[in-house]
Amino acid sequence: MEGTDTKVKTSMRNFLLALPLLLITNILMGMTLMKMSKNTLRNQVESRMLDVSKAAAAQIDGDVIKYITAEDKETEDYIRTLNILRSFQDNIGLDYIYGINPGPNDTFTFAIDPDREDPADFGETLEATDALKTAAKGTSAVDKEPHTDEWGTFYTAYTQIFDSTEKVVGIIGVDFNADWYDDILNSHKAAAVILTMIALIIYNSRYG
What integer is the mean pLDDT of 8-29? 59
Per the DSSP assignment, residues forming a β-bridge with 154 are 147, 177
Domain that holds residue 79: 40-183
pLDDT band (50, 70, 90) for residue 25: low
Q: Kindly report the CATH number assigned to the domain that includes residue 162.
A: 3.30.450.20
Domain-located, residue 177: yes
Q: Name residues whose C-beta falls within 8 Å of residue 53's C-beta, 6 or more positions apart in sequence.
A: 97, 140, 157, 158, 159, 172, 173, 174
Measured N-to-C along each axis, helices 2-58 and 178-207 cross at an angle, to the nearest 10 degrees, of 170
Domain-located, residue 3: no
Domain-located, residue 105: yes
Domain-located, residue 20: no
Q: Which long-range contacts (CB under 8 A, 24 or more apart) does 124-127 make?
A: 126/100, 126/173
Domain-located, residue 26: no
> Is residue 9's pLDDT more than 60?
no
Domain-located, residue 6: no
> Is residue 173's pLDDT more than 80?
yes
- The pLDDT, as a whole number, for residue 16 is 55
Domain-located, residue 17: no
* Residue-wise pLDDT tens digits, 117-143: 999 999 999 999 999 999 999 999 999
Q: What are phi and psi of 95, to 5 degrees?
A: -95, -50
- In one letter, which amino acid is 110? F
Q: What are phi and psi of 46, to 5 degrees?
A: -65, -35
- The pLDDT, as a whole number, for residue 53 is 95
- How far apart (Å, rounded) are the C-alpha atoms in residues 2 and 194? 44
Q: Domains in the chain: how many in total?
A: 1
Domain-located, residue 206: no
* Residue-wise pLDDT tens digits, 70-106: 899 899 999 999 999 999 999 987 899 999 999 999 9
Q: What percent of the chain has pLDDT over 90?
A: 46
- The pLDDT, as a whole number, for residue 183 is 74
Instruction: Specify whether the backbone of 147 is left (phi greater than 0), alpha (psi in -120 to 50) or beta.
Output: beta
- The pLDDT, as a whole number, for residue 26 is 60
- The pLDDT, as a whole number, for residue 201 is 58
- How far apart (Å, rounded) are the C-alpha atoms in residues 50 and 92? 13
Q: What is the dihedral of CA 53, 56, 57, 61, to 10 degrees?
A: -170
